[in-house]
């Protein structure tokens, strides 16, 4: 899996969780850049990612995720 692929998949995942028509994520995207992505929905997104990729993040790993790029790296690392 490469980052661009994951981002494409995350776009769909975010749309689903946030109930948005279209979400366009980038490597540097953070909660400030995506409407609806905040502390209320963050864990829902994490949980959905974990289910989708059959991975499990530790709490410390979650809090170190600062942007979509970090999320992609974490997914790649866990899924490997």
C-alpha angle with apex 36: 77 to 57, nearest 5 degrees?
25
Give phi and psi for 22, each to the nearest 5.
-145, 135
Nearer to another protein, 40 or 80 (CB): 40
Site for another protein in 1-30 (CB under 8 A): 19
Nearest by Cα to 12 from 41, 47, 40, 52: 52
Rounded least distance, CB 4 to another protein, Å: 27
Nearer to another protein, 4 or 43 (CB): 43
Please enumerate in sequence order all residues whose Cβ is within 8 A of that of 59, keeping only pairs 6 or more positions apart, or say none.
none
Q: How far apart are CA 60 and CA 14, in angstroms?
A: 22
Nearer to another protein, 28 or 38 (CB): 38
Single out the segment in contact with another protein by CB under 8 A; choices: 1-9, 24-32, 57-65, 72-80.
57-65
Residues that bind another protein (CB under 8 A): 19, 36, 38-44, 46-47, 50, 59-60, 62-64
């Amino acid at each position: 899996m490469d980052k661009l692929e994951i981002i494409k998949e995350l776009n769909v995942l975010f749309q689903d969780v946030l109930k948005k028509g279209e979400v366009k994520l980038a490597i540097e995207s953070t909660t400030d850049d995506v409407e609806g992505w905040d502390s209320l929905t963050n864990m829902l997104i994490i949980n959905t990612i974990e289910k989708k990729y059959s991975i499990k993040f530790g709490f410390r790993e979650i809090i170190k995720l600062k942007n979509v790029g970090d999320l992609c790296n974490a997914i790649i690392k866990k899924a490997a």
